[in-house]
């Protein structure tokens, strides 16, 4: 019997994608917040949500997974 593992499709909202792209550029949350005109707390919330969606625990792992899944850039 062949084992197949189901991997749910990952999708990011436009805001999550924008934040992920800025994280990939190396920007800290405060700079991302200033650029998007939102609070740094909101940026942190979005980053945590992306971590949960991707099952990762670091910004580096997040970017690596998004690149692997071809979700980072258009």
In the block, residue with structure tokens 């980072």 = 72
* Per-residue confidence band for 66, with pLDDT thresholds at 50, 70 and 90: very high
pLDDT for 58: 97
- The structure's pTM equals 0.85
pLDDT for 35: 97
pLDDT tens digit sequence for 32-60: 999 999 999 999 999 999 999 999 999 99
Percent of the chain exceeding pLDDT 70 equals: 89
List the one residue out of 2, 3, 42 whose CA is nearest residue 19. 42
């Amino acid at each position: 019997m062949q084992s197949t593992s189901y991997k749910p499709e990952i999708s990011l909202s436009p805001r999550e994608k924008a934040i992920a792209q800025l994280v990939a550029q190396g920007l800290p949350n405060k700079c991302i917040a200033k650029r998007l005109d939102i609070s740094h707390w909101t940026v942190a919330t979005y980053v945590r949500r992306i971590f949960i969606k991707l099952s990762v625990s670091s910004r580096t792992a997040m970017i690596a997974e998004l690149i692997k899944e071809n979700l980072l850039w258009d």
